[in-house]
Structure 1
């Protein structure tokens, strides 16, 4: 099935992904992981929530840790719109798609629209978030992997074609994709709004489930430093895959798991995609350089493990094809 043509004049304007709320069992343990190990900065904390941002971010938070009776699940994924009027246009769009819409109160955010995509992934859109002072030149604060900003989400979808078609309607554009040659269906796709390789990616599998969230770091050496730190502070078992370089996106990567099993990618070295007529790059599912440019296959856990969205039922994919998996 061909990928849809880009919608350059969508019904509302999403600028970028913004934040994610992760449900965790132990706030102290999770805060230690995201703050002391990864290096995010705590912007507020109470008995039930911890808010964090990365070093280049002026918005109040990019990660919310929420103490929950359902740890290891995702509460919501957040996106920022261009202006306030886009929120009303977004409400009209999602209602036209028979998706639920609700105006919700969120700490440190202005008017916020809560809705969901075609498979039920909870999404929220806002325009205003409290601004904090810049800290990107306060080098004494840098620690861990020195994360600069949140970069993207990747989710398992039971039907990547349908996910891509839905997000294309409101302006997400495909940069790279993998097609199953037998069925001619999409096996994976990378879609963006902000001019990088992706804000949201879809991988074939039981879903919807979050595969990972990702943070941009300055250099591959930051990833090596993180590996040394994790391997000597009791987190060697949380290292899942990498380091390596993806064929898709060209990014240097590392995948790690937090104390509740949420997967995070540490990520750098992809490329700019601002041109609206940029042609998507197609990959063969059986190309060993698709997953890793150097040819190393991903472990089975990378294709099986994901975190569910609260209250959202999953369904199995109908594509039988499989990429190369490490023994």
Structure 2
């Protein structure tokens, strides 16, 4: 199916992705992974929740870890441009027949909770508690030195439908993978903030979260993290990489947290702010699509994902498969 034309005047204005909430089964174990090993900064914490931010971020948090009985993803959050956009979002989502409710969230102003047409839980807000800058407090840098949250990648049972919905609320396609036989999308990368993506969709059982990505300064930070993880008990948590994607041109590493939530460590993609930027098409069987150097991804990368709380997971419409490592 053709990529939709960019919707430059959406019904409400999304600035960027903001944060994610992971439900984890052992809060202390997850704290050790995200704060002590990856290097995210603990902002506040109690017996049930830990709020984390990366080094360049001024908002209170980019990740919430919440203790729970099973590993799930509670929601993905997006920041809006204004308070007025929250009301516009409420009205538009109601018109689409999607569920809406106002929810109370610590350290945030009014927050609107909904689910997209696939059942994926989303939250929108405008105001978050602002914190003093720490990006020049170099004594705090450790682990992989994460600077900011970069994107979400989600499994979708119908990538064409996901692209159509997110295009309607202003996300623009930068790159995509198309199956030649069916003409359907196998994957698509969409942005608001002017990078390659704030959110991406990959064909698979869904809705599920494939990964959450953090931006780091250089590929050497990724090498340092590999050395650290391989000598501190996290060797089995290294899933894929390091490598360079064909799509996005980013240098990457995929790792799994103690509950199996996938994290990508990411740098070196490119700017996409022009409203008339033409998306780049990739063929599903192109070996350089996944990795510019040609190495295919492992099977787990196409099959493993995190469940969204309250979402019903179904099989994908498209049965085509990319190249998978033996």
Q: Which residue of 2 aligns with 1:98?
A: 97
Q: How many Å apart are 1:42 and its aligned residue?
A: 0.2
Alignment of 1:213-224 (within 5 A): 213-224=212-223
Q: Deviations over 1:69-123 (max 9, x none)?
A: 122x100000000010000001111111110000000000000000011101000
Partner of 1:157: 156
SS of the residue aligned with 1:326? Answer: coil
Other-structure match for 1:15: 15
Cα deviation 1:117-138 (Å, max 9, x = unaligned) = 1101000000000001100000
Deviating above 2 A after TM superposition, structure 1's stretches of 4 or more consecutive aligned residues are none
Q: How does 1:215-254 map to 2 (within 5 A)?
A: 215-254=214-253
Q: Deviations over 1:177-212 (max 9, x none)?
A: 000101100000000000000000000000000000
In the TM superposition, 1:1-327 aligns within 5 A as 1-71=1-71, 73-327=72-326
In structure 1, how many angstroms separate the alpha carbons of the residues matched to 2:90 and 2:176? 29
Cα distance in 1 between the residues matched to 2:3 and 2:35: 39
Q: Secondary structure at the match of 2:248?
A: helix
Listed one character per residue, the Cα deviations across residues 227-263 of structure 1 (whole Å, up to 9, x for unaligned) are 0000000000000000000000000000000000000
- How many residues are aligned here? 326
TM-score between the two structures when normalised by the length of structure 1: 0.99
CA distance in structure 2 between the aligned counterparts of 1:200 and 1:91, rounded to whole angstroms: 21
RMSD between superposed Cα atoms in Å: 0.4
Counterpart Cα distance in 2 of 1:164 and 1:230: 36
CA distance in 2, matches of 1:292, 1:156: 19
Report SS of the residue matched to 2:5: coil
Distance (Å, rounded) in 2 between the aligned partners of 1:224 and 1:95: 47
DSSP 3-state at the match of 2:161: helix
**Superposition TM-score, scaled by structure 2 size:** 1.00
> What per-residue deviation string (whole Å, max 9, x for no partner) do you get for residues 30-82 of structure 1?
001000110000000001000000000000000000001122x1000000000
Distance 2:112 2:318 in 1: 33
1:165 is paired with a residue whose SS is: helix
Q: Secondary structure of the equivalent of 2:289?
A: helix
SS of equivalent residue, structure 1 residue 225: helix
Q: Supply the distance in 1 between the matched residues of 2:96 and 2:300 (Cα, whole angstroms).
A: 34
Contiguous gaps of at least 5 residues in structure 2: none
